[in-house]
Structure 1
């Protein structure tokens, strides 16, 4: 039986693989790094790479997605999600959140997006995410949050 982190990593990798073929002109690649941050917290980072705008022989790195799994509180917390221009407006970010949410829910974990900029926070509230008590930069993703 796979752990929650193995399930999420595998699903994200399967979801992102076709984008490597679709965006060959942009030299899109990704790498997943995961490790124990502490006894109860596991961190996963997905770094993306694409053709540098100034030196087309080089690649520019960017942090596509970072999340933490807190086993003590049974929470998954997405702290970073970023898409370069050529990957935007295709629903890719929402689909990544949905993939994480689906597995989190199956494993009885709550999913939060944390450390949000104000505009993203308000967009997620409009999509049905729940605001967190006593903070204005985190939301909880729930079943009726519109992600797809």
Structure 2
């Protein structure tokens, strides 16, 4: 058995204690390098799988191929379980991945700051936001607007596109008259493609997309650092930390 398995049990058990009154039974099974949380909502129902964790010591990797907390009725339970596994991954120096994801949960993890690996897998890092209460998109947008003006965002977009010409390769191949016939707003498409490319670059680097925008908007490294520190303070206030 992997040395990480007892640590995972120790980290997860306190969370399961918070749902004892919501299910008929909940327990942990371990076998080899795997840990599985199972539960029953009623005595008559078959046991369901809430969480399955696989430890691969040779790869220094922990994987979560299954997590299902819907129906328990406790907000943030899934994130709490992932955070518990992440804590152990940090203790043993392993990387943490969630595999074989449904698209809805996959997109949500990306919104939390997980790193895209492929269309069904993300990596959970220390930067992934797993707090029970996290700011919504509108909150982040309002916070970001305090540090970058519309003019600075526009300038950042143009600098990014100049440095990454392949982003607009297909769009630039569309003649304006054809775009008009097809009802394509070239400027809006330009903004959309730039934003998507910046978000992708941020995920690959394991950072917030705002940091990429900032890199192209503000030349001074010290000014960027100052902005990021002040922005982080506002985000902490928004999530109550």
- Tell me if TM exceeds 0.5: yes
Q: Which secondary structure state, in structure 2, belongs to the residue aligned with residue 120 of structure 1?
A: helix
Q: Deviations over 1:38-78 (max 9, x none)?
A: xxxx1111111112xxxxx6234211000100000110000
Residues in 1 aligned to 2:90 and 2:72: alpha-carbon distance in whole angstroms: 30
Q: Note if 1:49 corresponds to 2:32.
A: no
Q: Which has the higher strand share?
A: 1
Kindly report the root-mean-square deviation, in angstroms, between the aligned alpha carbons of the 2 structures. Answer: 1.6
Q: Quick check: 1:34 aligned with 2:30?
A: yes
The one of the two structures with greater contact order (alpha-carbon pairs below 8 A, sep at least 6) is: 1
Q: Tell me what 2:115 maps to.
A: 130
Does residue 1:77 correspond to 2:67, yes or no?
no
Per the TM alignment, residue 121 of structure 1 is displaced from its structure 2 partner at its CA by 0.8
Query: Residues 1-148 of structure 1 correspond to what in structure 2 (within 5 A)?
Result: 3-20=3-20, 22-23=21-22, 26-27=23-24, 29-36=25-32, 42-51=33-42, 58-88=44-74, 90-132=75-117, 135-148=118-131
Q: State the structure with more CA Rg.
A: 2
TM-score, normalising length: structure 1: 0.81
Query: What is the distance in 1 between the residues matched to 2:113 and 2:129?
Result: 6
Q: Which runs of 5+ in 1 are unaligned?
A: 37-41, 52-56
Instruction: Tell me the CA shift for residue 107 of structure 1.
Output: 1.0
DSSP-derived class of the 1:85 partner: coil
Long gaps (5+) in structure 2: 132-241
Task: Give the C-alpha shift of residue 142 in structure 1.
Answer: 0.7
**Per-residue CA distance 1:77-112 (angstroms, 9 max, x = gap):** 001011242334x10100000000011012100000
Moved over 6 A (4+): none
TM-score in terms of structure 2 length: 0.51
